[in-house]
Structure 1
Amino acid sequence: MTERGFAHPEALIDAAALAAALGAPDLVVIDITKSLPNENRDDRAAWRAAHIPAALFLDIDEVADRTTQLPHMLPSPEDFARMIGAFGIGNDTRVVFYDQKGMSSAARGWWMMRVFGHDRVAVLDGGLPAWRAAGLPLETGEVPPPPPVRFRASFRPELVADLARVRRGLADGDLVLVDARPAARFRAEAPEPRPGIRGGHVPGARSLPHLDLLDDACLFRPAAELRARLAQAGLDGTRPAIAMCGSGVTACAIALAAHLVGLPEVAVYDGSWTEWGGRDDTPVEIG
């Protein structure tokens, strides 16, 4: 990965390197695909139909806070430790996340692990499409769950933003807020995939669709291109930054891109537009 100029190339792994690492006793590979509600797609069934050998499936609606109606919000550190330990992931485990689309939800896994103190985590660059393009083998059916292990979570609050933090940062004028949703949804020219959510964006937010960070093969663009696209959206490292999207998933791709090029950590607004656009006490801008 170093040929693309990344400051933190270890956050990505390519298909060939992952294929060579399969079978290592300290490695867990996870399909973390999460489709939008209006896509009517069974991600778990698609995983059963074709997955990287021995890859487990993680549904972010299950590894989540069950006390809120907001989708896949982070659980408590204690609950996350128990849930992720059930995947055979301990504090010394290497974890690789991928998704079936290329890069839509894999970065959410990378971000969640780092939120709870685990840095031995990477994303498969290009996801399952890159694996297929390399002609690498696939498996079908269920994967037997590994024995559960103990995971000790260490929460990093600086990587997570809530509604209050976003409001405070906007009021102070000391915040770059970047929205990873498609531009048409940002401008309220396309409907939100969840019913009851207003269209538009947070006043003062900048649009940076997460697909703009990727090339046609869903691989992250070289560092120089990423820096330019991030800087165009105001992410140049001079001010604190928060990424958001529809429900805190594709926003993680912005946080990962910033990490790859060596910018200061970008927090993710976990409730994102589902929370902001679903309330009646939050301002909305259209266009």
Structure 2
Amino acid sequence: MPSTDDPLVSTDWLAARVDDSKIKIIDASYKMPGVLPLPSDDYLAAHIPGAVFFNVNTIADPNDPRPHMYPDAEQFARDVSALGISSGDTVVAYDSGTWVAAPRAWWMFLSFGHRDVKVLNGGLQKWLSEGRPTHSGKVTPKPGKFQAKLDPSFVRSKQQLLDNLATRAEQLVDARPRPRFEGTVAEPWPGRRSGHIPGSRNAPYAELFDAKTGAMKPLDDLRKAFANAGVDLTKPIVTTCGSGVSALVLTLALYRLGVRGSALYDGSWAEWGLPDGPPLATGSA
């Protein structure tokens, strides 16, 4: 059993508890728009037994034109209850093993006051490589009773980051790959400028896990990655990325290193990078 504070659980840990009715498994896989097959179709083809699909794109504010922005507490409670999850359950989130949206789901649960949430280290990739069973088709759970209350300190708005440009009170760490951060390639989000928020650091999320196994790197390697990016773990941190998903891989790694009180810039580059958006920088951090 991992320490109660470590947000990661192993495939062994989950395999031993896959039939426990108090453990609710969610598949939170995500892909960029236009990439097929859809994560929901991948889920129908193969998922960890008992897992339900947590759709990052729909468990979101339906009235916000920006991609998958935070829903309000009432909607989050309703959507999560519909997945068969109750407030007394342990939630275990996984994704395909390329570390994209399981940490996003984990952070959303924490933000809405649910502390008992974990991320499966290595996700479906590691589960499959170990020859563990999967099911196909849809799981229709009995609705749960989930209560949610948003703690606004978990999330930052564009206005808060504009204010931070002047104060530099919070360090901003961008999870996107270096070429996107430096503005040397076109941004995959259509209609967005290239570059990064002035003053931000760059810690590409893909460098925090082992692509072969899907497992997150050891704590010393994580510490080194942030040090190399010029991040001071003792000072306030806000993570950002393309659209508020992969940033949470950084947040998860920081959490494992004992950092508490960090926040997510939910709008991320999908908002800041709009043509009429705030000032940007290019080149290295």
Q: Same fold (TM over 0.5)?
A: yes
* Aligned position for 1:49: 45
- Shift in Å at residue 251 of structure 1? 0.3
Q: Judge which range, 201-210 or 101-110, deviates more.
A: 101-110
SS at match of 1:37: coil
Q: Which runs of 4+ in 1 moved over 6 A?
A: none
Write the distance in 2 (CA, Å) between the matches of 1:121 and 1:273: 27
* Aligned position for 2:200: 205
* Aligned position for 2:153: 158
Superposition RMSD in Å: 1.6
* Aligned position for 1:21: 17
1:34 matches 2:57: no
**Contact residue 37 and residue 193 of structure 1 kept, 8 A:** no
* Matched AA of 2:86: G
Q: For 2:5, which of 8, 17, 25 is the aligned residue?
A: 8
Q: For 1:255, which of 210, 229, 251 is the aligned residue?
A: 251
Percent same amino acid at aligned positions? 39
1:69-125 CA-to-partner distances (Å, cap 9, x unmatched) read 001101011111111111111111111111113311110010000000011101110
1:89 matches 2:85: yes
SS at match of 1:189: coil
**Contact residue 194 and residue 273 of structure 2 kept, 8 A:** yes
**Contact residue 183 and residue 195 of structure 2 kept, 8 A:** yes
Where do residues 79-228 of structure 1 align in structure 2 (5 Å cutoff)?
Answer: 79-144=75-140, 146-216=141-211, 217-228=213-224
TM-score (norm 2): 0.94
- Shift in Å at residue 162 of structure 1? 0.8
- Shift in Å at residue 7 of structure 1? 8.9
Write the distance in 1 (CA, Å) between the matches of 2:247 and 2:11: 23
Write the distance in 1 (CA, Å) between the matches of 2:171 and 2:152: 18
- Shift in Å at residue 139 of structure 1? 1.0
- Shift in Å at residue 41 of structure 1? 3.3
SS at match of 1:21: coil
Write the distance in 2 (CA, Å) between the matches of 1:202 and 1:88: 39
**Contact residue 191 and residue 275 of structure 2 kept, 8 A:** no
How many correspondences in the alignment? 282
* Matched AA of 2:75: D
SS at match of 1:39: coil
Consecutive unaligned residues of structure 1, counting only runs of 5 or more, are: none
Q: For 2:68, which of 68, 72, 79 is the aligned residue?
A: 72
Write the distance in 2 (CA, Å) between the matches of 1:281 and 1:18: 44
**Contact residue 9 and residue 118 of structure 2 kept, 8 A:** yes
SS at match of 2:16: helix
Q: Judge which range, 229-238 or 252-261, deviates more.
A: 229-238
Write the distance in 2 (CA, Å) between the matches of 1:156 and 1:281: 27
Write the distance in 1 (CA, Å) between the matches of 2:77 and 2:138: 23
